[in-house]
Amino acid sequence: MMLKPSIDTLLDKVNSKYSLVILSSKRAHELEAGNMPTMESFQSVKPVLKALEEIEAGTVTNHPDPEGKRELIRKEEEARRKIAEEEQEKLKKQIEEEQGNM
């Protein structure tokens, strides 16, 4: 039986039970995958309860514009991909120049 954090205090932080379930589930998966916790110490050891404690503390929240967040993430990934491609091209050119000098 889960007593802390209470559903009432959690619903003060999130606008619906559905949003609370989704947010806590995503955060628990992130914690399981090795992401850094947003708090120093927890009362519980299980990732779902840790996620709920973070939500209660206000350190984990829903993004107000999820579509905008997805677009921003997509742009960041594309920028990283372009940088990686440019670095690969530089390395290829450098290798070709070194082989041409031999």
Domain around 75: 63-102
Question: Which band of pLDDT confidence, cut at 50, 70 and 90, is reported for residue 81?
Answer: very high
Residue 62 near residue 23 (C-beta atoms within 8 A): yes
Triad 8, 13, 17: Cα angle to 5°: 60
Do 50 and 71 belong to one domain? no
Provide the domain count of the chain: 2
Do 45 and 31 belong to one domain? yes
Question: HSE-up of 28 (CA within 13 Å, CB side)?
Answer: 15
Do 32 and 9 belong to one domain? yes
Do 48 and 27 belong to one domain? yes
Average pLDDT, the chain: 88
Do 73 and 90 belong to one domain? yes
Do 57 and 8 belong to one domain? yes
Q: Is the pTM of this model over 0.75?
A: no
Residue 2 scores a pLDDT above 90 = no
Percent of the chain residues past pLDDT 90, beyond the cut:
46
Do 51 and 11 belong to one domain? yes
How many distinct helices (H) and strands (E) make up the chain?
4, 0
Residue 2 near residue 49 (C-beta atoms within 8 A): yes
Q: Over the stretch 48-61, which tens digit does the pLDDT of each residue have?
A: 999 999 999 988 88
